[in-house]
Amino acid sequence: MTRPAVAIEVEARAGEARAGVLSTPHGRVETPTFMPVGTKGTVKGLTPGDLRSAGVGVVLGNTYHLYLRPGAEVVRQAGGLHGFTGWKGPMLTDSGGYQVFSLAHRRKISERGVEFVSIYDGSSHFFTPELTTRVQEDLGPDIAMVLDECPPANASRKYHTDSLRRTARWAERCKEAHSREDQALFGIVQGGLYPDLRKESLERTVELDFPGYAVGGLSVGESREEMLGMLALVAPELPADKPRYFMGIGDPVGILQVVALGVDMFDCVLPTRLARHGAALTNDGRINLKNASHRRDLGPLDPGCSCEACSTGYSRAYLSHLVRENELLAPRLVTLHNVHFIGELCREARAAIKEGRYEAWMGDWISRYAGPRSEISLDAAP
């Protein structure tokens, strides 16, 4: 048996929380790790050098968008996403399934795959498990994902049952179609908010023996509590020697909560999207740089942060001015900060796990973050 392209070595546990090292063809990454989203082959506003300086491990790319623009063939000829974007570290692409189901106005699902209409030009496309696997082989990330359906939480039990079984059959076809030995293909557990369906999806997916597993289908209409409940059910049952990826969480509190349940990797557009709206994550909570209180504040964005935006003399007053004036430098600096901040949070979580005091540390951290100086309440998170 060949050594898998991607594997995890779990170094320490604290409760269900895990600290480990993910090994990939493009390098090793300490876990837990937040993966910033480079939807169209760029984490908005940042260079690969910025991402390195922010301590990023894995960068995400989006199959749906890259397949449509600039096309997998252009990326393949450039040497895959690594060559095309200049990011030489580990990468992961989703299968595009989530976008097909969340973005497309019109789609038609069948056993064979899913027909959808491009958000760019209205052209028709058909994603099959075989096609999304081949496209991801062209894109060339270290980790590819199976094509899955991600139904809304409020879909019927019957719909969720049919869907998870189809997703499992698609997963098998993806595995069959996958041939790159320098790329790992991860399975995805679905099943909505039905505990027994989650269990069924888990069993059907694990049975296929993937080198890593994602838990998906959340953040689509369900509450944070419901989401965590499902994850608490599924995560401990996932193979302990394989990486665990929770899809779509990026607020600090949520990250700490899923880490507590044994997740190693997670992604979300939130930290980067917030930044483009002038919202910064700080050790005193989330702040909105448009608020009048920052207009004359000559202090740094976050005195506890060592990112370029915080450590090279930019004041909140200056950043607030840039945000108000829609200056290009604003999203660049605040995105860099938010990505660095989440990276640092993961490094702190990792240290706390290794010291066996994750739960206590997490409680302290959350009460500080959501404390009186925060501009959002915890209830309003993310």
Q: Which residues bind its own copies (CB under 8 A)?
A: 40-42, 44-49, 69-70, 74, 77-78, 83-86, 295-296, 298, 308, 312-315, 317-318, 320-322, 324-325, 327-329, 331-333
User: In terms of CB distance, is 81 or 147 closer to its own copies?
Assistant: 81
CB-based burial label for 122 (10 Å; 0-12, 13-18, 19+): exposed
H-run or E-run covering 16: none
- Tell me the CA distances in angstroms from 304 to 341, 345, 346, one per residue in order: 10, 12, 15
Q: Which is nearer to its own copies, 1 or 298 (CB)?
A: 298
Of 165 and 324, which CB lies nearer to its own copies in the complex structure? 324
Radius of gyration over every alpha carbon of the chain, rounded to an integer in angstroms? 20
Minimum CB separation of residue 322 from its own copies in Å reads 6
**Is there a catalytic annotation at residue 267?**
yes
- Nearest distance from C-beta of residue 277 to its own copies, angstroms: 13
Crossing angle of helices 358-369 and 329-354, rounded to 10°: 150
Residue with smaller CB distance to its own copies, 81 or 247: 81
Which is the catalytic residue, given 50, 94, 138, 264?
94
Q: What is the largest CA-CA distance in the chain?
A: 63
Smallest gap from Cβ 125 to its own copies, in A, equals 18
Residue 264 contacts by C-beta under 8 Å, 6 or more apart in sequence?
A: 8, 18, 20, 22, 31, 32, 33, 243, 244, 245
3-state secondary structure of 333: helix
Helices 224-234 and 252-260, interaxial angle, to 10°?
30
Whole-number minimum distance, CB 41 to its own copies, in Å? 7
C-alpha count within 13 angstroms, C-beta hemisphere, residue 350 = 19
94 in catalytic set = yes
Question: 18 vs 332, which CB is nearer to its own copies?
Answer: 332
Tell me the C-alpha to C-alpha distance, in Å, between residue 299 and each of 305, 335, 345.
Answer: 12, 18, 22
- Of 138, 148, 251, 267, which residue is the catalytic one? 267
Nearer to its own copies, 66 or 362 (CB): 66
Q: How far is the CB of 331 from its own copies (least distance, A)?
A: 6
Q: Judged by CB, which is closer to its own copies: 215, or 336?
A: 336
Strand partners, 287: 280
- Dist CA 73 CA 77 (whole Å): 6
Nearest distance from C-beta of residue 306 to its own copies, angstroms: 16
In the bound complex, what is the minimum distance in angstroms from residue 2's beta carbon to its own copies?
30
Contact present, 337 and 344 (Cβ < 8 Å) = no
CB neighbour list of residue 131: distance below 8 Å, 6 or more residues apart: 113
According to DSSP, residue 133 is labeled: H
CA 89-92-95 angle, to 5 degrees, is: 160
Point out the residues that are catalytic: 94, 267
